[in-house]
Amino acid sequence: MVIASFLWSLAGVFTRHLEQARGWEVTFWRSLFALIFMLGVLVWMRRAQGARGAWLAVRETGWAGVVSGAMWATMFTCFMLALTRTTTANTLIVNSLSPLFAAALAWLVLKQPIARRTWLAIFIAIAGMGWMFQAGIAADKAALAGTLIAFGVPVASAINVVTLKRVGHAVDLVPAVLLGALFSMALALPFAVPLQASAHDVAILGFLGFFQLGLPCMLMVRASRHLSAPELSLLTLLEVIQGPLWSWLFAGEAIAAATLNGGVLVLAALVLNEAAALRRRAGPPGQCNAAPPSAASPRAAGNG
């Protein structure tokens, strides 16, 4: 899971080194290569069934898999569009709100109660985002647009989690991610033509599709079998710390004071909420805690 967070964090710095590809074209190429990666994984996983195995895996997900795939596509698309319009820090801080959005939506739709610590975390996170907007982002129209687009990631993540919980259907993550890449690629293509990416850009976006999106999704699937939701949430926050750091060190992207101060509030709220969830899950020594896991998802496969 630590490796997955590291790979997710590379999106910002690699995107800053693109020569010609922008916005929708970046989304198209990354989704295309992620699709190729996921298709290869499905074929390998279903190799006993031959070439039909991948198609059968996708078909078995049913309508819930299509809904999940649509949410993955929203996350993939919004993430890259935001990253090409605003800073890495702004994008990742907004993305990190996914667990809180999922908890709030589960409260509205599934009537699941929200713990007081989570309500507190939500209000602190809102204050942190308000600080970022009021003190810095609102003055920059491009950064404002990118940051608002980034909100599509936690919203889609929350809808994805709550939909799967509501229908009670365990959709295999791999086919859903493949559908997400397919939908994202199809959505981006009409806005991306004429394609202008250089060979240098295609190589970077190929790397991102394979190793920044496809591979960490696979690692998260493996890790989710052994880690609780709060543990996954805390480990995915490593991306929010590392991403802006790489962009600063290797692309010269500075972090605005307002982003830093507001981001600290958001991250503090998330860390305290998830740490409290871990303590509650563990319970006192010698006691078995049978409380159900939090409705908040750690992340719907990474930043998209």
Instruction: Name the pLDDT band for 278 (thresholds 50, 70, 90).
Output: confident
Q: Span 125-138, mean pLDDT? A: 80
In this predicted model, what pLDDT tens digit does every residue of 161-211 receive, in sequence order?
Answer: 887 777 655 666 678 889 999 999 999 999 999 999 999 999 999 999 999
Q: Which residues make Cβ contacts (< 8 Å) with residue 274, sequence separation at least 6? A: 99, 230, 233, 234
pLDDT for 136: 63
Q: Span 29-43, mean pLDDT? A: 94
In this predicted model, what pLDDT tens digit does every residue of 78-124 receive, in sequence order?
Answer: 999 999 999 999 999 999 998 889 888 889 888 888 888 889 999 99
Higher pLDDT, 286 or 197: 197
Q: Where are the domains of the chain?
A: 2-282
Report pTM: 0.86
pLDDT for 239: 92
196 vs 221: CA distance, rounded Å:
34
Mean pLDDT score of the chain, rounded to an integer? 85
Q: Span 41-57, mean pLDDT? A: 84
Q: Span 53-57, mean pLDDT? A: 85
